[in-house]
Each structure stands twice: as C-alpha cells, then as structure tokens.
Amino acid sequence: MKVVIPYKKSSAKSRLSSVLTPEEREEFVEIMLNHVIDSVREAGIENIDILSPSMYGLENMKKARVLLDKSDLNEALNRYLGQTEEPALIAMADLPLLSPDHIKAIISTKEDVCIVPGRGGGTNILFVKNPSCYRVKYYGSSFLTHCSIAAESGHNIEIYDSYFVGIDIDEPDDLVELLIHGKGYAKKYISQKFRLEISRGRVRLSQI
C-alpha cells in the first residue's frame, strides 16, 4: 500500500494570517508535514508520496518521494489514484494530533473505503483499497461527497471516529486544540507564540 500527502508550502494556511506571518505559516506547515510523514512511517509504511505543485520547501526531503503536479488538488489526486493499483491512503498534511496507531486502525478497516471526517465537512484521511475505481473531490463538504462517491461506485464505507484525527489546522481556534491535546514539534512551535485564554466558555487563543 502507499500513502499520498498533498502539500503546498508557499502561501500556506491563509486563514491563519490573522495570527501568524507568512514566514511562520511556512515554517509551521513544514513541521506539520513532517509530523504526518513520521506518523505514517512509525505505522510501518515506507511508500510515501508527497504531491505538490512546487518543489519549494521540498528540495531536501529524504523521508518521502516528491511528485510534482501543478494541476488543481483534485485533478492531481485523481490522476495519482488512477495510476495506483494498490490500496492508497490520502492524508492531509495538517494533522498534528495524528498518531501511528490511528494509521494502523484506519488501514485495517474491513470496508472498501475508510473516511476520517474533519471539522466543517472536511475529509482529513481517506483510505481506498481500489483507488483506480475511486475519485476524490476535496473542498466544500468533501466528507459527504466522498461518502456519496463511495456509495455510487459500490464501495462499502467505514467512518473512522476520531477526535484527534478530526483536528486539521486551518483557523486560529484549531491551534487551541494543538495546545491542549498536542505534543512534539508542532505544539512546541505554537506554544512559543501563543497561550490558552481561559474563560467560562471555550478556551481561546491568546498571543504571548
């Protein structure tokens, strides 16, 4: 089986621009990418592809193969899946609470497709046993779309229920989850810049 991680370092994470500079966002996405790669490798998977529209920031990548594709994310991924004969796991690059045990559980699904939802209708991980018979459509309510695509193409689905894999980092409130539940470099990086602001409602982010 193989793992593919779509990734773009340049101008990354624009919805964090109110709290992190462009340089910080680039540093931070690189840390998160490395966390996802390390989690996959620790789960025993060595066949990892990074799918990126640019080599920027990937010049020295040793832990995974870099595939360049300048197309739109969906077009690039569907081309990739169409050429893949073995089971494929698509992991977003911004999952700092992902662990090797999550990966092991997801790939041991008995169903044809395993989908891990992310906040706001997203798909954080998608594991497809027969990728050449499946296509993806990220953005918008991709979780529902990916369920429909599986159903229409006769694939059985498991929905993998995980709070931690469900945390992708797009907005400032997501950094709160990293500060509370995280560990490792991604948490360390964010801890240097922010602290938790405790009130009666949900905890919010506060700049140090």
Among 8, 119, 137, 155, binds a copy of itself (CB under 8 A): 119
Quote the strand ranges of 29-184, DSSP E. Answer: 48-52, 65-68, 88-91, 113-118, 122-128, 157-159
Of the pair 64, 176, the CB lying nearest a copy of itself is at: 176
**Tokens 């041991």 found at:** 108
Q: Which two tokens stand for residue 84?
A: 């893949």
Strand partners, 65: 49
Least distance CB 107 / a copy of itself (angstroms):
17
Of the pair 59, 161, the CB lying nearest a copy of itself is at: 161
Among 3, 176, 186, 190, binds a copy of itself (CB under 8 A): 176
Least distance CB 61 / a copy of itself (angstroms):
27
Name the 3-class secondary structure at 115. Answer: strand
Angle ∠(35,39,42) on CA atoms, nearest 5: 135
Least distance CB 111 / a copy of itself (angstroms):
17
Among 96, 117, 131, 182, binds a copy of itself (CB under 8 A): 117
Of the pair 61, 92, the CB lying nearest a copy of itself is at: 92
Residues of span 138-167 touching a copy of itself by CB under 8 A: 139-141, 143-144, 161-166
Of the pair 122, 131, the CB lying nearest a copy of itself is at: 122
Of the pair 66, 105, the CB lying nearest a copy of itself is at: 105
Which backbone phi and psi does 31 adopt, to 5 degrees?
-60, -45
Taking Cα atoms as reference points, which of 114, 200, 202 lies closest to residue 161? 114
Work out the number of other CB atoms within 10 angstroms of the CB of residue 64. Answer: 22
Tell me: does residue 18 bind a copy of itself (CB under 8 A): no
Answer for the pair 24, 39: CB distance below 8 angstroms, yes or no. no
Among 122, 123, 150, 187, binds a copy of itself (CB under 8 A): 122
Least distance CB 130 / a copy of itself (angstroms):
25
Work out the number of other CB atoms within 10 angstroms of the CB of residue 62. Answer: 4
* Distance in angstroms (rounded) separating the CA atoms of residues 195 and 185: 16
Residues that bind a copy of itself (CB under 8 A): 15, 116-117, 119-122, 139-141, 143-144, 161-166, 170-171, 173, 176-177, 180-181, 196, 198-204
